[in-house]
Structure 1
């Protein structure tokens, strides 16, 4: 399994991660792996949502090519 070394971790952050790991009965390494995994899942979900919303916005403002202008339709209806 690959190893990841992180340097220059602020002491406060390290202490908070250790405290969190202890409260969950995990090693510091297991806690960091869990936190990284959760963060990646959240980022992927956020990216997926953004892509879906962008596609919905594009569809929302895309008009069909063969549909006549509404003012033309109204004018034709009034002329009948």
Structure 2
């Protein structure tokens, strides 16, 4: 396992992590690793969702430029001449 040292953490953030570690009966190191893993999981999920949305957008059907709009089609079907 790789060790990370000389990491500067603001005091307030360290206190929060320390409190979380105490409440979950884990070490500060374990808590930091857990928090980092959660953050990475959330980011991976966000990227996956963004990719899915991009694929959906690219696969969306668009009518040809010469196709009449729906209002025009409805008027023709209903026999309106405006």
- TM-score with structure 1 setting the length: 0.75
Q: Residue 70 of structure 1 corresponds to which residue in structure 2?
A: 67
Q: Residue 16 of structure 1 corresponds to which residue in structure 2?
A: 16
* In structure 2, distance between residues paired with 1:38 and 1:29: 14
- TM-score with structure 2 setting the length: 0.73
Q: Residue 5 of structure 1 corresponds to which residue in structure 2?
A: 5
Q: Residue 31 of structure 1 corresponds to which residue in structure 2?
A: 31
* In structure 2, distance between residues paired with 1:40 and 1:20: 19
* In structure 1, distance between residues paired with 2:6 and 2:30: 14
Cα RMSD, aligned residues only: 2.4
**Residue 59 in structure 1 maps to residue 56 in structure 2:** no
Q: Residue 45 of structure 2 corresponds to which residue in structure 1?
A: 45
Q: How many angstroms does 1:35 deviate by?
A: 0.5
Secondary structure in 2 aligned to 1:9? coil
Would you say how many aligned residue pairs link Structure 1 and Structure 2?
Answer: 71
